[in-house]
Chains A and B, each alone.
Chain A
Amino acid sequence: MTPQFSPMNPNSIKTRFTHRFLRALKRLRKNTKSPTAASSPPPSFSLRYQTVKMAADASMAAAVGPRRVWSRAILRKVRSRGFSARRIRSGRRSTASGVVRRIRRIKNGKTRVEEKIGFFGDDHRKTEELRRLVPGGEEAMDLYSLLDETAHYIKCLSTQVHTSGGLKSEKRNFGLMKKSQ
């Protein structure tokens, strides 16, 4: 049996995520190797880091597809970020802070509502925090759907972690091998 893909379910989230993530990384590498005129030649580490993180999230969300609330939220974020991509390349983090500001506004709005219905107790506070953590949680008003999204999100996050970890070890392996040869 062919060693490559036989044990894997070709439609699983993991496969899809891996494909996309690796493609994204390849693209990123190509971009950094041949520096475009718009970007400063060696992009700063923080920039690269953010791009990789965004690539991971985006490829995860793309692998999942728009079936889930959180994946839709991430895709929306990515697309809105893409508009100001040039600003990002120049090192400014305007969109990041813009997103943060927007989130704070939402948070403030929710805390106001919470004070009004003051007798909710810890449960509500925790669900609020969970909403903040899970992307797109702000929209999923129902507790049930929020828990649903959280479960799926947890599953995909752990997939991501394991895949990235394996990928990282592979890269190190190859790096070592190249050095030794």
Chain B
Amino acid sequence: MVPKLPFFGGGGNFSEMVGSFGLPNYTPNEEDGNEKTSTNGGDQQMSEEGTTGISPCGKRKKRVSESNSPFNPSKNNEGEHQKAISGESSQEEKKQKSEQNPSANSRSKQTGKQAKDKSDSGEAPKENYIHVRAKRGQATNSHSLAERVRRERISERMRLLQELVPGCNKITGKAVMLDEIINYVQSLQQQVEFLSMKLATVNPELNIDIDKILSKEILHSGASNAAIPGFGPGMSSSHPYPPGILQGALSGIPSTSPYHNLPQNIWEHELQSLLQMGFDSNPAIGNLGPNGRSKLEL
């Protein structure tokens, strides 16, 4: 998509930026932007990153028609020059910024630039702050390129987390995703607590060789792990095991065998097949009477 920019008013640096593009229709008439340069602290840096930042982006038509020097944000204009390929959030920010600048139709994605501009000039209207969703807690870096890269990395992480957290494939949007992540982490922690509580109950009553448990345990969790949805690509050092291993494991285990008819699925089913007791497999969290129950089952 090639949004048309209605106005520049850019700094003198802009000529350098566009010059790198080699745009034919640019006439470097906008010298009034130079006055704005002083107010904008990081214009020089802007131009540098503009050259690097814009070059990978698609070429867009720029109209050097109006200069918005009377209108406050020449900074905004300069922001537009940074044709960044940034994240989804910039879309909304784009629209909201268009309310500000009446002549703006559709902007390029410039939110990183906006954040930088806001941090530079205190004159930016208050609404820009809110709409921009500037990560002000971060280092107020004047490099919009870095901002952009950062945001891309964040969205990439969110995608990874989407794969980790089950059932989050359809969720788009950071807030809901964060909610899901929080819930999942909480539930995992509760599960660990619950299991450790159970282990604490069972623990002192066993006199069994730990190594035996160890070997069997590893095999079992290896088998049960096969059902786990794959962790994120770069993240896991353990990979799901092919079910063929299970047969090998079954043959190898010195068996008091009724307990080793392992289905290959989630360990819940494992437990249910192993124990012919009425043992609830997976965390119904917290509703144990631990001592009583363990005495019942052991």
Q: A and B: real partners?
A: yes
A residues apposed to B, CB below 8 Å: 1-9, 11-15, 18-19, 22-23, 25-26, 28-29, 32-33, 45, 48-49, 51-53, 55-57, 117, 119, 121-124, 126-127, 129-130, 133-134, 141-144, 147-148, 150-155, 157-179
- CA gap between A169 and B271 in the complex, in Å: 6
Q: Are B214 and A165 in contact (CB under 8 A)?
A: no
Asked if B2 is an interface residue, CB under 8 A from chain A, the answer is no
Residues of B within 8 A of A150 (CB): 161, 181, 185
- CA gap between A17 and B206 in the complex, in Å: 21
Residues of B within 8 A of A142 (CB): 138
Residues of B within 8 A of A124 (CB): 137
Residues of A within 8 A of B158 (CB): 147
Given the known inter-chain contacts A48-B203, A133-B189, A173-B275, please indicate yes or no for A148 contacting B225, CB distance below 8 A. no
Main secondary structure of the interface of A (DSSP, over half): helix
Interface pairs (6), CB distance under 8 Å? A3-B219, A49-B196, A53-B196, A155-B231, A165-B271, A167-B217
Interface size on B, residues (CB 8 A): 86
Residues of A within 8 A of B179 (CB): 126
Residues of A within 8 A of B90 (CB): none
Residues of A within 8 A of B104 (CB): none
Q: Are A25 and B137 in contact (CB under 8 A)?
A: no
Q: Are B202 and A45 in contact (CB under 8 A)?
A: no
Q: Are A172 and B298 in contact (CB under 8 A)?
A: yes
Q: Are A49 and B275 in contact (CB under 8 A)?
A: no
Q: Within B170-211, which residues are at the interface with A (CB < 8 Å)?
A: 174-175, 178-179, 181-182, 184-186, 188-189, 191-193, 195-208, 210
Which segment of B43-51, B61-69, B94-102, B232-240 sits at the interface?
Answer: B232-240
